[in-house]
């Protein structure tokens, strides 16, 4: 009997214990797994049922159809046989892909083709209601009232009103204004505290009537008395009249007609009523970037600076990181680990903290940099120096990354190749240029492209350091150091009348196309390097 098959003395060997993962899988198979599956599907169906109710109540029939079909399909697949096992694993990933990738992309494209902005947010119906409300103005010698909300003996909602000038008391209903005899209403200090025959509403009962009071009108001739607060009312008269048949607003004072101009607003020439509504405008936002000088000129300037910033940061960071990697890759160097640890520290600290610290260090009056070197350089307040600061600080944050990447790439290059080149008479510079660097690019080139794409959209490094400033005299939005992504952010919150989401998303689409195009070309070109490996 060979040694490999001879029995061992003592306690018989125990069979190997199965790994944790197979044990967990077996624990949830059979009846326990079926119970868990039914419970999870029941929870999902309950959530889907709630969502169906919401979608039906809001009239979103397309989303309702998709939700019902998806829910039924998931139930059939997960309760099906073994032939549906692959689909069971694909469904969760597909759902997350659609929810977090496809839907945001489609929504961004949809917004880019609309006029979605401040004043054009709601629907047309909501806009008409808001225009009618904002058209209400106090007439000449219009009256103000002290008010109390009450219910009469029949439970009907009424307004107890006291004229602030004549101190006469009235009860107001949607049918009109009726005087009240003296002694019915009591109160003082600008408040009505009681009214005989009426029950005044307070607290929660009054709070629940908030929406009702917003549309409550007591007609008085051509005007109407409307609640302004829970204790005051004012006489208001409309300045616009809506003609539902022609879908136009008519200004009562001069008969001017405001029509739907197809741009999401009622307009009469250049005079438009506010608010408008969200509507499709096609490629108008993209056209503005090309033809509107107020948008085109800042966009071109910001685009050029974005390219300079991304290329400068990547090139400088890679050059310094590679230099340090070569310097610290020599064998026998004392304190090698210490030097490497020091160089990685900027990468270990959260970037936003580093940026805020550098913002203080580069302050032209109180910053440590100017005080230490006894200089006075406006690092953050001069357009050119601010750009230099952005590149230098971004390089500070990126060098550790390229140092580690280059260190790993250098150590992966076979020493036989460099030794052979050295034997053939190649000097250090020739070996680096003809052997080391080409092989290094095989590994690093895709990372350079990824770093370029990252810095092309590096919002934090710009906004936390300079906020896109200093400002430029010929642009109220784009600053001297704004890159496309920070320019887009400013467009979305501070353009024209306010937020211009449509234009901002159009710029976002262009940013995506630029980065995707540059990345695609770069990856195609770098495929040639693979032949060197």
With respect to residue 3, please indicate whether it lies within any of the assigned structural domains: no
pLDDT computed for residue 21 by the predictor: 57
Please state, in angstroms and as integers, the Cα–Cα distance from residue 99 to each residue in 102, 110, 355, following that order. Answer: 6, 16, 33
Position 10 in a domain: no
pLDDT at position 294: 83
Across 455-469, average pLDDT? 93
The pLDDT score that the predictor gives to residue 497 is: 60
- Which of 41-45, 329-333, 446-450, 488-492 has the lowest average pLDDT? 329-333
Tokens of 509: 């689409």
pTM for this model (two decimals): 0.76
Say whether pLDDT at 450 is over 60.
Answer: yes
Choose the weakest-confidence range: 33-42, 325-334, 452-461, 503-512. 325-334
Pair 435, 492 in one domain:
yes
Q: Which residue has the higher pLDDT, 359 or 3?
A: 359
Q: Which has more confidence, 87 or 258?
A: 258
Residue 211 sits in the same domain as residue 346: no
The predicted structure's pLDDT at residue 494: 64
What's the distance, Cα to Cα, between the start and end of the chain in Å? Answer: 52
- DSSP-H helix ranges across 292-382: 293-327, 336-348, 351-361, 368-373
Domain that holds residue 216: 137-238
* Domain shared by 217 and 323, yes or no: no
What is the predicted pLDDT for the residue at 86?
Answer: 82
Is 433 within the bounds of a domain?
yes
Q: In the 8-state DSSP scheme, what is residue 448? A: H
Nearest to 475 by CA among 304, 294, 306: 294
Residue 425 confidence class, pLDDT cut points 50, 70, 90: confident
Q: Which residues of 295-315 are buried (b: 16+ CB within 10 A; e: fewer)?
A: beebbebbbebbbebbebbbe
- Evaluate whether residue 13 is within a structural domain: no
Are 481 and 463 members of one domain?
yes
231 part of a folded domain? yes
Does residue 194 sit in the same domain as residue 250? no
Q: Is the pLDDT of residue 359 over 70?
A: yes
Average pLDDT over residues 77-81: 79
What confidence score (pLDDT) does residue 152 get? 92
**Are residues 488 and 473 located together in one domain of the fold?**
yes
d(CA 493, CA 500): 7
pLDDT (tens digit per residue) in 3-60: 444 444 555 555 555 556 566 555 556 677 788 888 988 999 999 999 999 999 988 8
Residue 20 lies in a domain: no
pLDDT over threshold 60, residue 496: no
41 with 187, same domain? no
Q: How confident is the model at residue 529 (pLDDT cuts 50, 70, 90)?
A: low
Tell me, yes or no, whether 416 and 519 share the same domain: yes
What is the 8-class DSSP label of residue 413?
Answer: S
- Count other C-beta atoms under 10 Å from residue 474's C-beta: 9
104 and 148 assigned to the same domain: no
Query: Please, what is the average pLDDT of the chain?
Result: 87
Per the model's pLDDT, the better-predicted residue between 66 and 19 turns out to be 66
Mean pLDDT, residues 142-168: 92
Q: For residue 266, what are the β-bridge partners? A: 260
pLDDT at 351: 87
* Res 140: pLDDT: 84
Is 1 a domain residue? no
Residue 335 lies inside a defined structural domain of this protein: yes
Q: Is 197 or 529 the better-scoring residue by pLDDT?
A: 197
Gyration radius of the chain's alpha carbons: 36
DSSP label at 107? H
How distant is the alpha carbon of residue 510 from its chain centre?
Answer: 17
Whether omega before 221 lies within 30 degrees of 0, making that bond cis, reads no
- How confident is residue 190, by pLDDT bands cut at 50, 70 and 90? confident
Q: Which pLDDT value is given to residue 251? A: 94
Let me know: does 93 contact 103? Beta carbons within 8 Å. Answer: no
To which residue do tokens 């506010």 refer?
Answer: 274
If asked whether residues 268 and 206 sit together in one domain, one would say: no
CA nearest neighbour of 54 among 42, 67, 41: 67
Does pLDDT of 526 surpass 70?
no
Structure tokens at 289: 């970037």
One domain, residues 351 and 480: yes
Average pLDDT score over residue span 421-427: 84
At residue 531, the pLDDT reads 55
Percent of the chain, pLDDT > 90? 52
Same domain flag for 400 and 383 = yes
- C-beta separation of 461 from 397 below 8 A: yes
pLDDT of residue 142: 85
For residues 246-256, average pLDDT: 93
Window from 141-150, 315-324, 424-433 with minimum mean pLDDT: 424-433
Count of domains forming the chain: 4
Q: Interhelix angle for 437-456 vs 293-327, to 10°?
A: 140
């Amino acid at each position: 009997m060979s040694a490999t098959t001879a029995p061992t003395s003592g306690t018989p060997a125990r069979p190997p214990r199965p790994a944790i993962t197979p044990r967990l899988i077996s624990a949830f198979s059979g009846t326990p797994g079926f119970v868990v599956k039914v419970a999870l599907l029941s929870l999902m169906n309950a959530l889907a049922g709630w969502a169906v109710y919401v979608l039906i109540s809001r009239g979103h029939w397309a989303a309702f159809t998709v939700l019902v079909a998806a829910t039924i399909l998931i139930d059939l697949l997960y309760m099906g046989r073994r032939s549906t096992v692959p689909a069971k694993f694909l469904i969760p990933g597909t759902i997350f892909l659609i929810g977090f990738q496809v839907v945001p992309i489609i929504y961004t494209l949809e917004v880019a083709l609309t006029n979605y902005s401040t004043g054009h947010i709601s629907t047309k119906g909501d806009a008409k209601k808001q225009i009618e409300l904002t058209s209400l103005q106090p007439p000449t010698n219009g009256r103000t009232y002290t008010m109390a909300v009450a219910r009469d003996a029949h439970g009907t909602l009424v307004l107890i009103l006291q004229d602030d000038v004549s101190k006469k008391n009235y009860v107001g209903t949607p049918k009109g204004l009726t005087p009240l005899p003296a002694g019915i209403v009591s109160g003082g200090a600008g408040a009505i505290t009681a009214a005989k025959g009426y029950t005044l509403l307070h607290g929660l009962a009054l709070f629940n009537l908030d929406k009702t009071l917003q549309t409550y009108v007591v007609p008085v001739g051509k005007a109407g008395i409307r609640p302004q607060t829970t204790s005051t009312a004012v006489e208001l008269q409309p300045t616009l009249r809506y003609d539902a048949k022609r879908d136009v607003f008519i200004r009562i004072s001069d008969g001017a007609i405001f029509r739907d101009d197809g741009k999401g607003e009622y307009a009469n020439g250049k005079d438009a009523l506010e608010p408008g509504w969200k509507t499709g405008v096609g490629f108008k936002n993209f056209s503005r970037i090309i033809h509107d000088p107020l948008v085109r000129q800042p966009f071109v300037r910001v685009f050029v600076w974005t390219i300079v910033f991304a290329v400068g940061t990547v090139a400088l960071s890679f050059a310094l990181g590679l230099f340090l990697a070569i310097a610290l890759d020599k064998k026998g160097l004392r304190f090698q680990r210490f030097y490497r640890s020091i160089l990685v520290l900027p990468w270990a600290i959260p970037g936003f903290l580093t940026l805020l610290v550098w913002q203080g260090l580069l302050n032209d009056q109180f910053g440590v940099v100017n005080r230490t070197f006894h200089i006075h350089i406006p690092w953050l307040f001069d357009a050119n120096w601010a750009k230099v600061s952005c590149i230098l600080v971004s390089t500070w944050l990126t060098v550790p990354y390229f140092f580690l990447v280059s260190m790993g790439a250098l150590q992966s290059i076979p020493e036989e190749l460099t030794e052979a080149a050295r034997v053939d008479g190649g000097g250090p510079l020739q070996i680096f240029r003809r052997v080391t660097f080409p092989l290094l690019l095989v590994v690093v080139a895709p990372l350079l492209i990824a770093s370029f794409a990252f810095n092309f959209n590096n919002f934090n490094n710009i906004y936390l350091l300079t906020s896109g400033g200093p400002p430029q005299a010929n642009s109220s939005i784009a600053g001297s150091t704004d890159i496309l992504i920070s320019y887009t952010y400013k467009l979305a919150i501070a353009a024209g009348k306010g937020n211009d989401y449509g234009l901002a998303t159009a710029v976002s689409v262009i940013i995506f196309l630029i980065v995707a195009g540059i990345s695609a070309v770069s990856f195609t070109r770098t495929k040639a390097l693979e032949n060197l490996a």
